[in-house]
Every structure is written in structure tokens, then in C-alpha cells.
Amino acid sequence: MNPSGFSTVRFSTADLPERDRVAVWREQYGRRALKLDIEPINDASLECTIMFRALPGVQIMSTAMSPVRITRGREFLADGNGDLIFIINQSGTATAFARHREVVLREGDALLMSTSEVKIFDRHSHGGSLSFRVPRSVISSIVTRVDDAVMHLIPRQVEVLKLLAGYAAPLFNDCALATIDFRRIAANHLLDLVALALGATSDATELANGRGGLVARLKMAKSYIIENSNQRDISVGSVAAYLGVTPRNLQRLFESEGTTFSQFLLAQRLARAHRMLTETRLAQSAVATIAYDAGFGDLSYFNRSFKRRYGATPRDVRNDVVKSAGFNAVHPTARYLRRYAVSGNH
């Protein structure tokens, strides 16, 4: 299959009538589009969801499937396609057969396969994978003896696999890829990381480590910090441990963009606090509570940092929201006591 354009293309058996699901999926999506035969195994009902995104020189695909057997037999080889497919098994267990070899893929393991060869891929349980389809000419220019890498297990302990998966996953929904320049950059980074995982040539390794590897690590670090910025115990050491790098190397990643780990973390916490302060549903929450929930432990430091970044105090921002919403921000308990006193019920 060769999706056109820059958008993500999605197919799912859930969109098909249950009565015709297996037949339509096997014929329309399997044999005609993917040039594969797909059939359920172990008496399991067929459940498949596939997402494609085409970038210059590489196509990424995310799949989630019930137990199935996927076969590319000799009748499909007539299409002459010789692309290479790099597969990261993200969940469940699968077994690949090709070149008289059998390779078992457990969670996190990876494998390179060729579309020019007869092969069988069995998914034994519900699971998913992330794959990268690359023309042979592209990958062979940056990987030494790429044919020798086909059908050899790459264990999940290989660090670059985590970087590759972490970099690729957001690309299915990244609106920035609407521009061709961003698509080329993203594709180059993906190819860099695939090459590193396979064992790039010496020249390509130097380039990939300086381009794709660093970019992927920095992107993963930022994503992790954004997700966990409200945790007060997050530190350069904890994030470095998550990425599998030294704290100093993590600091260098941020320095390469002219910032620091601390500055980036502070910016995320301030942004989180600002969002909370501008939400009318939180208008009754104390500023100190919001600061605490955003990850700050020192209210004075929060107030100073907030005003320096936004040009207004947290209370000023809160009051503007309250005024625009048209209600009094007095705490509910205080409002009740005031009403109780006025009514004379005491």
C-alpha cells in the first residue's frame, strides 16, 4: 500500500460489517492493498487496526491485531517490490519465518524483513507493532551489508529501539508534518535511528548520532517532562535514568537548544499553572493549591517566576478570569458563612 498525501490513513475491521469482515479484510486490505494474505488463527475473531503515514523515503505503520497469520507467498512477489521493513514488536508475542529461519519477537524486540522474499508472520496473541518501510536503495546506502541484517533478532535492550519508537509514535498526529520541509526532517531522523539500530556505516553512524539520535532523545526527554512536570520529585537525574543516559548528557541535549533542563521544567510548570488559573471550573481553587498541583513547592518562588513570565501575578490572572465569567470568586465556605450571618440565623 502506498498512501498519498501527508495525512494519516487508518483502516479497521471495526468499520466493516461483522458478517463480511474476514472476507472483505483479507481481499480488499490484505491481498489487494498490502499484497499479503491475512487470516485469523486459534479460532479468534479477526480484529485489526492499521495506521499509515508516508514520509519522504520512509513509510511508518502502526498495527494492532488479534491472533493472525500474515503470509507473503510467491504469488505476491510478482509485484517486484524489494522494500525492507523494520518491525518493532510493541506488545504480545510473534514469530517470523523467512530464509529458513525462525525468529521469536517478544515485547520490545525488533526485526528487519524483506518484501522480496516469501515470509510468514504469526501473531500468537493480541498485540501491536510499529514498522518502517524503506526502499532498499535508501537503507543500503547507510547500512553496511544490509542483507546480512535481514531476519536477525534485535533485542529490546538495544537503546535506540526505544528512541525510535518514542520519536515515531507522535508523527501519526503531528500537524507540523503538513509542510514538506518538516516531513523531510522527520523522515531523515527516522532513517538515522533505523540505521543505528541495524548497524550503520561508520560515516552514517556519526551523522545519525549527531542528528537523529540526539533529536529523538531530546524529544523523549521533553515529552516525559511535560507529562510529569507536576511531580515535585522530578529531576535531571530521574529523567536521565528514564532515557538511559547520564545527567550530564541530558543537560547537554538541552544546551544544544540554548536552554537548560531547569528552564524547560520551569516553563512547563508555569504553563500548567497558567492553564489552571484560566479555567473557570477551578476559579474557587486557591492560588497556592494550583501552584502546588503544578509542581511548585515554594509559593514565593512561584509568584516571582509567574510574574516574570506572564507580566502579571497569578492572582491578577485569576481575577481577570473571574470578572470575565461574571461571578464572585469568594470561597464557597466563606460565601455560606456570609449568607448565614446576613440572614440572622445564629
Q: In what order do the strands lie in the sheet with 48-55?
A: 9-12, 48-55, 58-65, 127-134, 84-91, 110-114
Determine contact, residues 245/261, Cβ cutoff 8 Å: no
Residues 39 and 185 in one domain: yes
Please tell me the total number of residues recorded for the chain in this structure: 346
Residues 188 and 293 in one domain: no
Q: How far apart are CA 316 and CA 278, in angstroms?
A: 11
Total number of domains in the chain: 2
Residue-level pLDDT at 343 = 39
Backbone angles phi, psi at 245, to 5 degrees: -125, 170
Write down which residue in 259, 288, 319 finishes a domain: 259
Write down which residue in 206, 231, 259 finishes a domain: 259
Residue-level pLDDT at 213 = 60
Determine contact, residues 120/100, Cβ cutoff 8 Å: no
Write down which residue in 212, 231, 259 finishes a domain: 259
Residues 245 and 282 in one domain: no
At a CB cut-off of 8 Å and minimum separation 6, what does 193 contact? 160, 163, 164, 167, 208, 212, 213, 216
Domain residues for the domain of 286 are: 278-343
Is residue 292 in some structural domain?
yes
Is residue 272 in some structural domain?
no
Q: How far apart are CA 196 and CA 213, in angstroms?
A: 8
Is residue 1 in some structural domain?
no
3-state SS, the chain, equals CCCCCCCCEEEEHHHCCHHHHHHHHHHHHHHHHHCCEEEECCCCCCCEEEEEEEECCEEEEEEEECCEEEEECHHHHHHCCCCEEEEEEEECCEEEEECCEEEEECCCCEEEEECCCCEEEEECCCEEEEEEEECHHHHHCCECCHHHHECCCECCCCHHHHHHHHHHHHHHHCHHHHCHHHHHHHHHHHHHHHHHHHCECHHHHHHHHHHHHHHHHHHHHHHHHHHHCCCCCCCHHHHHHHHCCCHHHHHHHHHCCCCCHHHHHHHHHHHHHHHHHCCHHHCCCCHHHHHHHCCCCCHHHHHHHHHHHHCCCHHHHHHHHHHHHCCCCCCHHHHHHHHHHHHCCC
Spans of the chain below 50 pLDDT: 1-5, 200-208, 329-346
Residue-level pLDDT at 339 = 39
Residues 189 and 287 in one domain: no
Residue-level pLDDT at 107 = 95
Is residue 309 in some structural domain?
yes
Give CA separation, 110 vs 50, 122, 211, 253, in Å: 18, 14, 22, 26
Residues 113 and 164 in one domain: yes
Work out whether strand 94-98 and strand 58-65 pair parallel, antiparallel, or are unpaired. unpaired
Backbone angles phi, psi at 44, to 5 degrees: -85, 145
Residues 139 and 197 in one domain: yes
